[in-house]
Amino acid sequence: MRGRLPPALVFLASMPALLVAALIVATVGDALGSGVTHLLTEFLGSAVIRLLFNTLGLMIAATLLATLIGTATAFLVVRTDVPLRPLWQALGAAPLAVPAFIASYAWVSLSPHFEKFGGALLVTTCAYFPLVYLPVAASLKRLDPMQEDVARVLGTSSFGAFVRVILPQLRPAMLGGGALVALRALTEFGAFAMMRFQTFTTQIYLVYTAGLTGSVASALALVLLMLCLLVLVAYVLLEGGHSYASVGRGAARAATVYRLGVWRLPALAFLVLLAAASVGVPLGMTVFWLTQHGAAAITPAEVSPHAVFQATWTSIKLGVGGAIFTSVLILPLALLASRWPGRRMVTWLSQVPWLAQGLPGIVVALSFITVAIRIVPWLYQSTLLLLVVYAILFMPFALVGIRAALVQSPPLLEEIGRGLGYGWFGVLRRITLPLAMPGVGAAAALVLTSIVSELTATLLLAPLGTETLAMRVWENTSTLAFAGAAPYAAILIGISMVTSWFTASRFGVAAHATAVGS
């Protein structure tokens, strides 16, 4: 769309960027509030060194394992004759519908031996390998098979063709998925807390709940924020400067399906074990504890139907409210990005919300606690503040979906509307939104799913007396009342599966995975 950018629309589209900038300033300012000497002491102390070792060790191991497993799974499902390929294709994406802290609950309730580093690595890898699997599978489906044919004609073996032709073209998908896994490993809280494994997120929560000075928690948050930014910078440096485009449309035929031969049974066993670890154990243990009376758990816990209903209703209310608030907040920016693409200001404003994906939920929550207490105390522990934090954490999800829906809305109809005398707001209300509403609804459903399963910000910011499904799982698991946590975990998984299916049916699986992990 040509023409001058509407000033009112630009102002509204700037709100997400202002919120992200405010929380970064608040985090840095609070960390520096105790003085440089104290800050350096916190950074160089033995406790911080141990946390750094734990966090980086887990991040690196999980990223490498998830990238290896996700790439191998994608290749087996897309390019080999492994049995039951449609089943494995669906199960490869299924872990995205199971929150990581629910998976931790399942493994810890199975055996306490799954605690600490080993369990945390297992859960992180199983929960987030789909972030690599989905983009790599999509890339494999788009590859030009002619390049492999040329390599084979030149005498390259099947393995050589994979290493020299296919693997280099999968680099962007592997790097992008690996970066998402690394960020998730850095920012995860609930899963690690249940695994009794100390990272920066768990330590920040302990410091805050222990009532220590806010500057200590903010200093730790600042280190975590720097680690997230380093991951983003590393991704840009590794991914940039390479061209993967091809001239022409490529061969108009399906790619070669590799025959596994003697490797068929090991490949099938690998996929079975992966599905069992990533989906089977969380679902199986949840069903098992559902069948156990509270007294059969390690710690007895009676589950009240009223408490289950209340937690479900509260989660849905917060999810719907947060989804609406986030969609309304990001709509002006999505409209600018879809109707005025290429403008420098629009490009900049569109990129800033993605920084939220490098900001751990606990850092965002602490930053706005500081802002609320010092500037607007009446906002502290209010539902409005919680919705604002939800919006910051999940607005990239809404931006992806709403922008995609607006791009598919014909601009010609908007031009006709303006020709009839409607301003941009009238065109938006009468033409653009009605046409894009199915896609907007799918994006809102994705945000709702994320909010319902969000734990960290809810624990820190929810008004007194608030109980959500995630909080109930956390409370019961913390006291080893696994049977008591089961009904809440089952409902969480059910909501996630329904909304994930709805979103994937609207945007496609690849788009859904991008939104979930971006």
Lowest mean pLDDT among 309-323, 395-409, 449-463, 485-499: 395-409
Segment 233-237 long-range contacts (CB within 8 Å, at least 24 positions apart): 234/179, 235/175, 235/176, 235/178, 235/179
Mean pLDDT of 416-426: 65
The pLDDT of residue 513 is: 42
The pLDDT of residue 64 is: 94
Where is pLDDT greater, at 480 or 1? 480
DSSP H or E stretch at residue 494: helix 482-507
Lowest mean pLDDT among 49-58, 192-201, 278-287, 509-518: 509-518
The pLDDT of residue 413 is: 65
Give the whole-number percent of the chain exceeding pLDDT 90: 9
Closest to 235 in 3D by CA, of 127, 347, 401, 354 = 354
Lowest mean pLDDT among 21-30, 258-267, 468-477, 492-501: 21-30
Query: Which residues lie across from 80 on neighbouring strands?
Result: 258
> How does pLDDT run across 73-111, given as a tens digit for each residue?
988 988 888 888 888 888 888 888 888 888 898 898 888
For 330, residues 6+ apart whose C-beta sits below 8 A from its C-beta are: 16, 353, 391, 395, 398, 399, 402
Where is pLDDT greater, at 402 or 124? 124
Residue 403, token pair as written in the block: 């922008």
Where is pLDDT greater, at 416 or 289? 289
Closest to 231 in 3D by CA, of 56, 96, 43 = 56
> Do residues 167 and 68 lie in contact, with contact meaning Cβ atoms separated by under 8 Å?
no
Fold annotation for 33-239+271-278 = MetI-like fold (1.10.3720)
For 215, residues 6+ apart whose C-beta sits below 8 A from its C-beta are: 30, 31, 33, 34, 38, 39
CA distance 338 to 414: 13
> Do residues 125 and 104 lie in contact, with contact meaning Cβ atoms separated by under 8 Å?
no
> How does pLDDT run across 302-360, given as a tens digit for each residue?
667 888 888 889 989 998 999 899 988 988 888 887 777 767 787 788 777 777 766 67
> How does pLDDT run across 344-401, given as a tens digit for each residue?
787 788 777 777 766 677 778 877 887 788 788 888 878 888 898 898 888 877 887 7
> Do residues 90 and 278 lie in contact, with contact meaning Cβ atoms separated by under 8 Å?
no
363: exposed, middle or buried (Cβ count in 10 Å: 0-12, 13-18, 19+):
buried
Closest to 184 in 3D by CA, of 145, 239, 126 = 126
The pLDDT of residue 43 is: 58
Residue 30, token pair as written in the block: 């609070």
Query: Which residues lie across from 258 on neighbouring strands?
Result: 80
- In this chain, the answer to whether the domains covering 1-27+292-518 and 33-239+271-278 adopt an identical fold is yes
Where is pLDDT greater, at 161 or 464? 464
Where does the pLDDT of residue 251 fall: very low under 50, low under 70, confident under 90, or very high at 90 and above? very low
The pLDDT of residue 99 is: 85
CA distance 15 to 1: 22
Where is pLDDT greater, at 29 or 276? 276
How many residues does this entry show for the chain? 518
Residue 467, token pair as written in the block: 């109980």
CA distance 317 to 351: 29
Helix (H, G, I), strand (E, B) or coil at 80: strand
Between the alpha carbon of residue 85 and those of residues 91, 190, 218, the distances in Å are 10, 33, 48
> How does pLDDT run across 176-186, given as a tens digit for each residue?
888 888 888 88
pLDDT of 248 over the 60 cut: no
CA distance 337 to 352: 13
> How does pLDDT run across 28-79, given as a tens digit for each residue?
776 666 554 555 565 556 677 888 889 999 999 999 999 999 999 988 988 8
CA distance 430 to 496: 32
Where is pLDDT greater, at 381 or 120? 120
Q: Which residue has the tokens 């494994």?
A: 197
The pLDDT of residue 59 is: 93
Residue 152, token pair as written in the block: 């084979």
Domain residue spans of the chain: 1-27+292-518, 33-239+271-278
Where is pLDDT greater, at 12 or 145? 12
> pTM of the prediction?
0.77
Q: Which residue has the tokens 């207490």?
A: 373
Residue 491, token pair as written in the block: 């409902």
Lowest mean pLDDT among 65-79, 217-231, 482-496: 217-231
pLDDT of 272 over the 80 cut: yes
The CATH code of domain 1-27+292-518 reads 1.10.3720.10
pLDDT mean across residues, the chain: 77
